[in-house]
Copies of this chain bind each other. A is one copy, B any other.
């Protein structure tokens, strides 16, 4: 069964796979609700109370289309970052902006480079526009900058994707390494620098906001989904050269932004004290996750994000079993998809009540996984 007869050959050729299965689908399949939602790198500490209050206050605006130019939000972001508003484009989360980026560059067989096991949604978009994905293995649980740059040259890549800090491993490069990487790339390779976790990284990780805005071949992605605690609102933005950024207006869904998302994002940007506080809470939660891992004989990896990759000490089969046993006990976690990173499970920072459940559950999950 193929549906409408004139779907393009490309669309017909695409698999029915999706980037991620949601925890809700797992809950429906098992008939049990998760007790700890620590798998999607959401921020269970939530947005600032000032932000939630603004959402509630603005609920009466739900009948209005949002400003299609995202003017106020772009200008607030520009002021925050010391950029010009025309160096910023707002979209329905980084996922949407990745799709628009790929659409503008990729046609069938366009070479695109990423790390093997990096963000699946980027790969989904590359496949969706018919690109040829070339992957570079991680090295020492980090994306391999040297190999990525080499692949970009070798493959004549139109795009290279880098997540810094990295998801799913939590590893990171300091700003100087990122700058050197940018220098090492061909000028006709677009670097998509995904900094979704940037606000939680150690000082010195993120290059200055204006570091690459003179280069038409660098786009940096940021989001309100992680540190700002607004994953459900769908609001991300991209920073780049004004001439590159303006091109998004040719293809984006101008009336795609939710009005409450715009309002919430502006409020979140204003509450700097809460951001500092929540980053401290996330940091403390990561330390606790790491302690729990060690107490169970597992090795937590260093992380510049809001999650901890935990080395389960064996292979992907074992880590998958651990994940499954955790799931059956009500703990939603995810894990890297590719060896050897798939020896790990990935646990998101969360309020203590959820980490308590993880702590209580992990020993039995490990024991059950070891029995198989």
Please list the residues of chain A having a beta carbon within 8 angstroms of any beta carbon in chain B.
Answer: 1-8, 11, 14-16, 18-22, 24-25, 28, 37, 40, 42-47, 51-52, 55-56, 59-69, 71, 92-93, 95-96, 99, 103-107, 121, 128, 158, 187-188, 190, 216-217, 225, 229-234, 241-247, 249-251, 253-261, 264
- Distance (Å) between the CB of A271 and the closest chain B CB? 14
Contact partners of A43 in chain B: CB under 8 A: 63
The interface residues of chain B lying within 8 Å CB-to-CB of A158 are 6
B64 and A37 within 8 A (CB)? yes
Contact partner of A71 (CB less than 8 A), chosen from B18, B24, B40, B55, is B24
How many monomers of this protein are in the complex? 2
CB–CB A246/B3 < 8 A: yes
Residues A64 and B92 in contact, CB atoms below 8 Å apart: no
Q: Which 8 A-B pairs have the closest CB atoms?
A: A232-B259, A3-B244, A3-B243, A24-B67, A14-B250, A1-B243, A55-B59, A56-B56
- 16 additional contacts, CB 8 Å, given A233-B259, A233-B260? A4-B216, A5-B188, A8-B104, A11-B104, A11-B247, A16-B249, A22-B69, A43-B63, A52-B59, A56-B56, A62-B231, A63-B230, A92-B256, A121-B255, A128-B251, A232-B260
Contact B4 A256 (CB under 8 A): no
- Contact among B7, B64, B245, B258 with A247 in the assembled complex (CB-CB below 8 Å): B7
Q: Which one, B22, B46, B105, B253, contacts A63 given CB within 8 A?
A: B46
CB contacts (< 8 Å) of A254 on chain B: these are 18-20, 95, 121
| Known contacts A65-B42, A234-B257, A249-B18; A3 and B60 CB within 8 A of each other | no
A189 and chain B: residue at smallest CB distance: B6
Q: Give the Cβ gap from A59 to chain B, nearest Cβ, in Å.
A: 4
Q: Which residue of B lies closest to A156 (CB)?
A: B6
Q: How far is the CB of A349 from chain B (nearest CB, A)?
A: 12
Compute how far the CA of A37 lies from the CA of B61 in the bound complex, rounded to whole angstroms.
Answer: 12
A55 and B261 CA atoms in complex are apart in Å by 12
**A62-B52, A65-B42, A230-B63 known; A253-B96 Cβ under 8 A:** yes
Report how far A177 CA is from B213 CA in the complex, Å: 55
CA A42 – CA B1 in complex, angstroms? 39
What are the residues of chain B within 8 A of A92 when measuring CB–CB? 92, 253, 256, 258
CA–CA, A59 and B255, complex, Å: 22
